[in-house]
Amino acid sequence: MDFNDSPQEAEFRKEIQKFLETNAEKRSTIADKPNDKGPQIAVAGAPETVRGGKEAADEALERAKEWQKKKADAGFAAILWPKEFGGYGGSPIQQVIYSQEEHNFFVPSGYFEIGIGMLGPTMMVWGKDEDKKRYLPKMITGEEIWCQLFSEPSAGSDLAGIKMKAEKNGDEWVLNGQKVWTSGAHFADYGMIVARSDPSALKHKGLTYFFLDMKTPGIEVKPIKQISGTANFNEVFFSDVRIPDSQRLGAEGEGWKVALTTLMNERLAVGDPPGLDFDQIFEATKEIEVEDGLAIKNSEVRQKMADWYVQSRGLQYTKFRSITALSKGQTPGPELSISKLVTASKMQDVSAYALDLMDMSGTIHNDKNPILKNLFQNGYFFSAAMRIAGGTDEVLRNIIAERVLGLPQDERPDKKLPFNELPSGKN
Amino acid sequence: MNFDFSDDQKLLRDQARKFLQDKCDRSLVRSILEDSEQNYSENLWKDIAEMGWTGTAIPEEYGGLGLGMLELCVIAEELGRSLAPTPFSSSIYLFAEFIKSYGNEEQKKKYLPKIASGEFIGTFALSETNGTPRPSNIKASVNDGKLSGEKAPVNDGEVADIIIVAANSDNNANHNSLSLYLVEKDDPGLSKSSLETLDPTRPACSLNFSNVNAEQLGNRGEGWSMIEDIFNRAAVLFSFEQVGGAQVSLDEAKKYSLERFAFGRQIGSFQALKHKMADMYVKIELARSNAYYGAWALSTDSNELPVAAAGARVSASDAYNYSSQENIQIHGGVGFTWEYDCHLFYRRAKLLSLNIGSTRQWKENLISNLEKRNIV
Ligand SMILES: Cc1cc2nc3c(=O)[nH]c(=O)nc-3n(C[C@H](O)[C@H](O)[C@H](O)COP(=O)(O)OP(=O)(O)OC[C@H]3O[C@@H](n4cnc5c(N)ncnc54)[C@H](O)[C@@H]3O)c2cc1C
């Protein structure tokens, strides 16, 4: 048992630090200077809240692309990817070291993770060599952004319930239907999509998986305003969208298998704690006053913070255990599902409690907010999304119960009938 | 970074698990639970000592095996899983650690070999009040080498051959005067009366000292910092016991939920129960990971220990209390019977989470250590 960096790991860490110090601005855990940008909350597909309309959003995207290019040039944009596609060819522990260090700097995020974390790895498994050569390097450099067109109005947790029609017409497929909650579709250049190619087959059998150019005629993207007031996800409508058969990944009718590759990588990619955790509320309690003085001195506050600390560090150490298993050639299983499950609820609890501590001033939600620049106000909204996106709390508990603990599956009336004979409710 | 036990340590774990399955089945645990005359299983204690476990982390020169704290963590988890009714925690996690860290050469020579061989059982006497022990509420005191006062509960006090007692030196009840003293069981001024506990397989008593011979352990006036240090070390070991017990609570809940049918299906197929067991799993995994971190800090004498130990302790108490409580719930009515084993874990979980200080207290320790060290 050794918690310290090995000499090679320490060297790698130094290299990373040098790169970050030369190229990015260091930030504190709290926004202690007036113009300090402070901690941020951003996860895959949902860049940090950008105020100021389209112009500001475009500018933010440009800055993100510039940063991504630098990172890619240095080799750090996709530590786990093979070198031939512009990756670092590194190990999971190196990926963790990079994330740990990057966490201390103000860098844009939320644009490229879906591609690099989920869709790229799917193409690596299922794509043709020429496609990998054409698309993967630009995914890393940020020149081309990708989105995940999976969920539909009638299919979220029950992803295999999608209805998007894919009809084969010679060497082409024609897509008709609607996707929804597609993060980043409004700035994405490409997307990966699952569609139903055979409605008379069983639910999981009649699906086929494609990638496509978001500028293909017939695609219409409409941003959806979220409870946070911004719009990071979208409705995407498809009317007679024609894509060549060469853009199919996996065999016809094998789309579910390909989608599972994406989802498996999603589980590996999500759950990295965003910048709202124990450390932030710990700092905040040193500034906020409650009935008997500073919040940090209040015993109830201390009791609660201890719970969040052990959750936060417990997750971090669980990750280290998984990485150790990986480095010994064992596969870490669905136990990784605990990460997002714990992180999202913790963030919601921490945010709500911090607002409580601020008392009446907790209601203020604008940039003048003296405490941590709105961090907890933003977290209050954002955490509600985290508990749903990428597998809801309930679905994650099902996964743990069934795949880790081996408990029986739920009753599944949908497994036996052809898709077009299944009962369906609202939507 | 390598965040796992070594192959040798895993082998030790497998051996220990097999050994305890054989020597410490539930009927042995129940024999102690149901016989108020027996404080622990003498047979199991002998077996454990023969295996060398009592000397795991005691240096060879003092009769131990000279292995490390990581090996002791491995054994602790197995003792926790099997609900072993022995004074292992009092004698090894506390007494032996006090002597190893603070005994003079003579004291080490005198006690460690006998502790390592299991011939002697040691324990530690601190609490005197209803509530959290603090330097200010310790009244026991020593004058001219004679100790007077009263301590309760003292775990394994009835069977202990040698007791470390926290007391004020020279009748001066201020913080700086708290010291530690060694007291032998045969002293005529020492009287015991047994106490019932939440978990009778882990007994306690009250001890009355009246002008008992007391030999100083460690520096005078440094009692409290020695206690904090040894409690930190013990907290990691306790947390492994707790993780072990929590895991078995989950395993048994799962097993029962697959065997019991209601409404025409296995109760383990109801989401309300599946999600409960998923929550147990999450708490246990977090606790295990925090315990690993504690083990690393303990085995390397890292200055992370106070934070790591408190984190391990808080997380493990939460996991075991929750899992043992919901294990009863998943069993329904039979879970509340004497006959089913659920209560064995429910008892042990709460008892362990109080033995070296409550969860409340450890949460407070955690935050104050974070403040002190400002490591975040
Ligand atoms: C911020 C955000 C970003 C997103 N980005 C994307 C994206 O980029 N691409 C994409 O394809 N999708 C995206 N999604 C969609 C997301 O994957 C789905 O919202 C999610 O899987 C839940 O599906 P649903 O919304 O249809 O809810 P439903 O599946 O209808 O769930 C409603 C409720 O029912 C519960 N429920 C459903 N099934 C079960 C079950 N078997 N057992 C117990 N409870 C159950 C759920 O837990 C939930 O509480 C995003 C969502 C959010 C919030």
SS3 A91: coil
Select from B221, B252, B282 the last residue of a domain.
Answer: B221
Return the best residue to mutate from A388, A393, A403 for the ligand 1 pocket (most ligand atoms within 8 A of CB): A388
Residues A226 and A282 in one domain: no
Q: Which residues of chain B have pLDDT under 50?
A: 376
Question: Are residues B317 and B193 located together in one domain of the fold?
Answer: no
* pLDDT value of position A33: 47
**B228, B371: one domain:** yes
Give the residue from A231, A264, A297 where a domain finishes: A264
Q: Is A59 an active-site residue?
A: no
Please report whether residue B97 resides in a domain.
no
Check whether residue A230 and residue A312 sit in a common domain: no
Ligand 1 binding pocket, CB closer than 6 Å: A 45-46, 148, 150-151, 156-158, 181-183, 233, 385, 388-390, 392, 394-395, 398, 410; B 271
Residues A13 and A89 reside in one and the same domain: yes
- B356 lies in the same domain as B249: yes
Q: What pLDDT, in 10s, does the model give residues B71-119? A: 999 999 999 999 999 999 999 999 999 999 999 999 999 999 999 999 9
| pLDDT over threshold 90, residue A245 | yes
Question: How confident is residue A330, by pLDDT bands cut at 50, 70 and 90?
Answer: confident
* CATH code (residue B168): 2.40.110.10
Residues B230 and B331 in one domain: yes
Whether A335 shows a pLDDT value over 90: the answer reads no
pLDDT of residue A35: 46
Domain boundary among B42, B64, B89: B89
Q: Say how many domains are in chain A.
A: 3
How many Cβ pairs within 8 Å bridge chains A and B?
156
- Assess if residue B217 is contained within a domain: yes
pLDDT value at residue B376: 45
- Domain ranges, residue B216: 123-221
Mean pLDDT of A26-37: 56
pLDDT class of A41 with cuts at 50, 70, 90: low
Q: Could you list the residue range(s) of the whole structural domain that residue A184 is in?
A: 146-264
Same domain, A239 and A323: no
Provide the CATH number for the domain around residue B330: 1.20.140.10
Residue A109: pLDDT above 90?
Answer: no
pLDDT at A264: 84
Q: Which of A264, A297, A315 is the last residue of a domain?
A: A264
Whether B107 is in a domain gets the answer no
Task: Report CA Rg, chain A.
Answer: 22
Are A151 and A247 members of one domain? yes
Position A292 pLDDT exceeds 80: yes
Q: What is the DSSP string of A359-410?
A: GGGGG--STT-TTGGGHHHHHHHHHHHHTTTTS-HHHHHHHIIIIIS-PPPP
HSE of B194, CA atoms in CB hemisphere, 13 A: 13
pLDDT value for B266 = 96
Mean pLDDT value across residues A129-141: 97
Torsion of CA A393, A399, A405, A407, to 10 degrees: 100
Closest chain B residue to the Cα of A325, Cα to Cα: B4
Residue B118 located in a structural domain: no
* DSSP string for residues in B84-152: --SSHIIIIIIIIHHHHHH--HHHHHHHHHHHHTTSS-EEEE---SSS---GGG---EEETTEEEEEEE
| Domain identity same for B229 and B362 | yes
What's the CATH code of the domain at A374? 1.20.140.10
Does residue A86 lie within any of the structural domains? yes
A167 touches chain B (CB under 8 A): no
Same domain for B242 and B364?
A: yes
In this structure, are B200 and B254 located in the same domain?
no
A127 falls within a domain: no
- Do B24 and B136 lie in one domain? The reply is no
Which one has a higher pLDDT value, B246 or A369? Answer: B246
* CB spacing of A303 vs B364 below 8 angstroms: yes
B residues 67..106 contacting A (CB < 8 A)? 70
Distance from CA of A94 to the nearest CA of B (A): 11
Q: A119 lies in a domain?
A: no
A140 domain residue, yes or no: no
Is the residue at B116 inside a domain? no
> Does residue A40 have a pLDDT over 80?
no
What's the number of domains chain B is made of? 3
Q: Are residues B228 and B363 in the same domain?
A: yes
Evaluate whether residue B105 is within a structural domain: no
Task: Please report whether residue A414 resides in a domain.
Answer: no
Interface of A with B in 65-104 (CB under 8 A): 93
Phi–psi pair at B9, nearest 5 degrees = -65, -35
Q: What are the DSSP calls for B247-290, one per residue? A: HHHHHHHHHHHHH-EETTEEGGGSHHHHHHHHHHHHHHHHHHHH
Going by pLDDT thresholds of 50, 70 and 90, the confidence category of residue A44 is low
Across chain A, mean pLDDT equals 89
**Do A164 and A231 share a structural domain?**
yes
Determine the pLDDT at residue A333: 61
ipTM: 0.94
Pair (B171, B205) in one structural domain: yes
